[in-house]
Chains A and B, each alone.
Chain A
Amino acid sequence: MAGMDVAVTGLGLVTPAGNDTARSWQTICAGQPTADVDPGLAGNPVSISCRVTGFDPEELLGARRAHRLDRFVQFAVIAAREAVADSGLDPATWDGARVGVVMGTAGGGAATFEAQHRVLMEESPSWVSPLTLPMHLPNMVAGQLAMEFGATGPDLVVATACASGATALGTARDLLQLGRCDVVLAGGTEALLNPVTMAGFAKMGALSKRQDMPAEASRPFDVDRDGFVGGEGAALLVLERVDDARARGARIRARLVGYGATADAHHVTAPHPDGVGIEAAVRAALADAGAVPSDVGHVNAHGTSTPLNDLVEATMLSRVLPHRPLVTSTKGVTGHMMGAAGAVEAAFSVLAVEQGLVPPTANLNKLDPKIDIDVAARVTPRRIDLAISDSFGFGGQNAVLAFARA
């Protein structure tokens, strides 16, 4: 199935680490945390986050378009423009019927919904905006990307909470291998730093309470970790079959060679204590790639910085990958970008494979003694033939992607 393998030919990122791929990767490799006090969350139980900064939607999209798009769609459109340009494909000439869009998001335009609910309660139901649903519904991001690029093939949004971005990429790979599309714009986007969502996460006990030291709050695998820091942003990848990409002389950044998807069927938020679901997802991705565990040279972990996730994930990784490949969680820099995270970390995995560079895990001062894996504390040059990227969602959904050198 080598010819049916899927190539990554374009990347686009809007993250707290930078508003394009180059700047995001630079911040990731420098291991610079982005968490800070968030004035938009003033009064919330936890009021720190990793915001995308310096992002001016009116300048980037025009005032009229920006006014009609929720922030989760704004991020996706800008990231998609970068990814398509990076791929060298020209939407003016492509056969749109053969171009699909698959996006992942956990919450869609929840901030729009929250704002309009305030109008309903404080003013009148009659003043609720007619743009409420076109801005809020999660599927709108795929609809807007279809309009932006004249993509008239399959156009969908998947929701597996914090695995959504990875599920989207895996689904896109399926569409390409089934021959339903020739090109898929796939990724994840999230803008869920609205007060209701973040209060809900705080009440679950999922968020770091290190509010006096926000830059040190997201510390995956560290012994002093106490929860995740919410992040926002988007990642888009342009995917094509390897044969098609080679035929048009495209630069292949890496190949998406495996996808594993499973469910814990255990608990709404807690991971299965034995990590059976996430292990099955890793093994499925490796089997799909025609690889064995010892082929894995790097893991971009889910690594949320919550006490439970990191312990269960690390225990699983030490069991499945006893040869100790170098593990990183880029969430130390970006925080947890929720439905975008799987796609963002897929993009970082692609760059790690392409450049032979394992990025560091920010804020790893002292590895949790209960964790027995090798976590990269600093950027490490290393040839990586195969990398996997883990993503796990509340609800028990697990998605693992495997990327190989071009």
Chain B
Amino acid sequence: MFDTLKDILVKKLKVTPGQVTPDASREDIELDSLAVVELSMVLEQELGIVISDNELIDVPTVGDIARLMEERSAKI
């Protein structure tokens, strides 16, 4: 799931690929409140995974976002 998330961050939000590591924080990849909304939208559009921007903003790292995506997709 990390690779899927990385692909979305790079291709859709244009984050520099080298910055996207499991330990990277939201600040490390410059995911401000607007980009978090973008990410929430893209996850739902592309993968059908519903995670609100309010939830995403509290997730500490990219790896944690990927884990949350796995949890949510398991419920689909």
Contact = CB atoms under 8 A, between A and B. Distances in A.
Contacts of B15: 64
Given A127-B41, A127-B45, A64 B30 contact: yes
Contacts of B45: 127
B68 interface: no
Contacts of B30: 64
B34 to A, nearest CB: 5
A292 interface: no
A130 interface: yes
Interface in B17-63: 30, 34, 37-38, 41, 45
A63 B14 contact: yes
Contacts of A58: 14
A248 to B, nearest CB: 35
A213 interface: no
Contacts of A67: 13-14
Interface of A is mostly: helix
B16 interface: yes
Contacts of A126: 41
A62 B30 CA distance: 13
Contacts of B13: 64, 67
Interface in A39-66: 58, 62-64, 66
Contacts of B38: 129-131
A186 to B, nearest CB: 28
A154 interface: no
Of A62, A68, A131, most B-chain CB atoms within 10 Å: A68
Nearest to A123: B45
A62 B15 CA distance: 9
Given A127-B41, A127-B45, A64 B14 contact: yes
Contacts of A68: 34
Interface string A132-153: 0010000000000000000000
A130 B14 contact: no
A131 B33 CA distance: 10
A348 to B, nearest CB: 35
Contacts of A64: 13-16, 30
Nearest to B42: A127
B16 A63 contact: yes
B37 A130 contact: yes
Contacts of B34: 68, 130-131, 134
A64 B30 CA distance: 9
Contacts of A134: 34
A64 B20 CA distance: 13
Contacts of A63: 14, 16
Nearest to A66: B14
A132 to B, nearest CB: 10
Nearest to B36: A130
B52 to A, nearest CB: 12
A68 B34 CA distance: 10
Nearest to A58: B14
A127 B14 CA distance: 18
A126 B34 CA distance: 14
A131 B34 CA distance: 7
A58 to B, nearest CB: 8
Nearest to A129: B38
A129 B34 CA distance: 9
Nearest to A131: B34
A347 B38 CA distance: 39
Nearest to A132: B34
B69 to A, nearest CB: 19
Given A58-B14, A63-B16, 8 more contacts: A64-B13, A64-B30, A67-B13, A127-B41, A127-B45, A129-B41, A130-B34, A130-B38
Interface of A: 58, 62-64, 66-68, 126-127, 129-131, 134
In the complex, the 6 A-B pairs of residues with the closest C-beta atoms, listed nearest first: A130-B37, A67-B14, A63-B14, A64-B14, A130-B34, A130-B38
7 contacts: A58-B14, A62-B16, A63-B16, A64-B13, A67-B14, A130-B37, A130-B38
